[in-house]
Structure 1
Amino acid sequence: MQTISDRSAVDSPVRADLLAVLAGAVFAASAVGAALAYADLDSPLRAPLALFYLLAAPTEATAFLLRRLEPLARWVASLSGAVLIDLLAAETMAGLHLWSTRNGVTAVGAISLLLFLLGTGTGVNPLGTGRERTVENSER
């Protein structure tokens, strides 16, 4: 009979793999949405996937930037940040009379790329294993 501690040890790698597959599927769907928005194809999937891209790209970039937070806090903060990025980009572009689907996808993609690059340049250990610091006793 398998105990709870044995089952959690088995479920952990499976859950991590499932999250990686889910993140890859989200990235692929949002990339298809961006490609359809740029290509101006008449497809019934163009509008939903473009909207999905406009929400998923800044969410993933912000989640990568905030990867040291707890998972639930990271996803809540990154989702609200993505809505904020979308609203500010749309308001700015509408105020400047530059709004179009292609320009909106470009602006949100550029902001998401900058956030992602900001997250890679911080030198933060994504696993959080470098948090502990060993201190040697100097009184020997």
Structure 2
Amino acid sequence: MITTLNYKLGAITNKKQRKAFSIMELIVYMVVVLFLIGVLFFGLPFLINQARVTTAKQEMDTLKTAVTAYQMLCTNPGESITAEDLKTGLTAEESLDGIAHENILPEDADLKDPWGGDYVIETSPDGSGSISTSNAVSIGGLDSEVVISW
């Protein structure tokens, strides 16, 4: 009985004495928090840029499809094609089949790359071409442009 009473009194006094963290617990806590802040600070910009690259590639695939459709329908496929040409489409005189093809790209299509610049479309008479991002990519932290070719 006395042992039980001493044990209970000891537990009560231990709870009353321990009201704060030890210095080691605080140091470990701060190290963990600083590590997480460092990962967030250095890793987040990389992840954002990778998301922009993925978005740019998806948009460029859509533009590639529109450019190849434009080239197949156009009487002069070797001419330079701009993103605005893809929005306005072809008149009946410009079209091989004599039918006007409007809105190869939707009118509300955003033709800016994820960094805010314009996509650069280059085509040749043989049907090949490339689409690349603008110089705004270097501002976004990428070392080189994103390019797709066909």
- Provide TM-score, normalisation by structure 1: 0.32
Normalised TM-score (structure 2): 0.30
| More strand as a share of residues | 2
Q: Which has more helix, going by share of residues?
A: 1
